């Protein structure tokens, strides 16, 4: 049974985007438009080049922000405020997911490459407020992004998490590599699996997966 693989877990770490809400919500469609507009304004480039740089920095550095900071010394605070200023009114409450997270034994946190204020808004829009012991954004890792191991280490040290007794839930497979190396149980949350040695479990239904842990 899947639950047997989680008996030792006492810290539950959840990514935010496309993990605590389904990809069909398409929040990143809004965020990417704002990212491109920010890059255009900050670097003085046309939309096509801004789109190219946005994708290039995400692939190379883990986030567009990390690339802008590394190559152009962009101030992260205005960027994070701007790109996350999106509508969330189409997000629905998920009672089944709430019940699944509430039943988990031990500490429950959210860790996102976005900023914590945005994460708090999404959590509330999903009806998950009051469930988590802490919410961490990229700012809490010194703006180092996942998938960098140093970013995870900074967050876990800050929270006092022992990776060998923790589990990570994440939609981006590359962001599970460092947690696996650190000894965490890893769960890929996505419509389709991407088999890899650093992924222990896959689910397209996070609420259903968490319900199985209660059996």
CATH of the domain at 97: 3.40.50.1000
**Whether the predicted pLDDT of 53 surpasses 90:** yes
pLDDT at 215: 60
Q: In which domain, by residue range, is 153 found?
A: 2-21+93-213
What 8-state DSSP symbol labels residue 104? -
| pLDDT (tens digit per residue) in 16-33 | 999 999 999 999 899 999
Distance CA 2, CA 121 (A): 31
* Structural domain count, the chain: 2
> Which among 40, 44, 95 is positioned nearest to 64, based on CA atoms?
40
Quote the pTM value.
Answer: 0.94
| pLDDT (tens digit per residue) in 130-162 | 999 999 999 999 999 999 999 999 999 999 999
Distance CA 31, CA 120 (A): 16
């Amino acid at each position: 049974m899947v639950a047997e693989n989680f008996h030792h877990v006492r810290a539950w770490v959840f990514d935010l985007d496309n993990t605590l809400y389904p990809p069909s919500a398409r929040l990143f469609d809004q965020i990417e438009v704002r990212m491109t507009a920010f890059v255009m304004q900050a670097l003085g480039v046309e939309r096509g080049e801004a789109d190219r740089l946005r994708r290039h920095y995400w692939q190379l550095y883990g986030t567009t922000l990390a690339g802008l900071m590394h190559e152009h010394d962009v101030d992260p605070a205005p960027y994070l405020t701007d790109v996350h200023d999106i509508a969330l009114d189409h997000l629905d409450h998920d009672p089944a997911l709430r019940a699944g997270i509430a039943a988990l034994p031990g500490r429950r946190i959210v860790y996102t490459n976005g900023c914590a204020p945005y994460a708090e808004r999404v959590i509330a829009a999903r009806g998950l407020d009051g469930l988590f012991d802490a919410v961490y954004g990229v700012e809490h890792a010194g703006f180092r992004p996942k998938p960098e191991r140093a970013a995870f280490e900074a967050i876990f040290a800050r929270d006092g998490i022992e990776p060998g007794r923790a589990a990570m839930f994440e939609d981006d497979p590359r962001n599970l590599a460092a947690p696996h190396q650190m000894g965490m149980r890893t769960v890929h949350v996505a419509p389709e699996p991407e088999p890899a040695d650093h992924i222990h479990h896959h689910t397209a239904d996070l609420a259903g997966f968490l319900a199985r842990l209660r059996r």
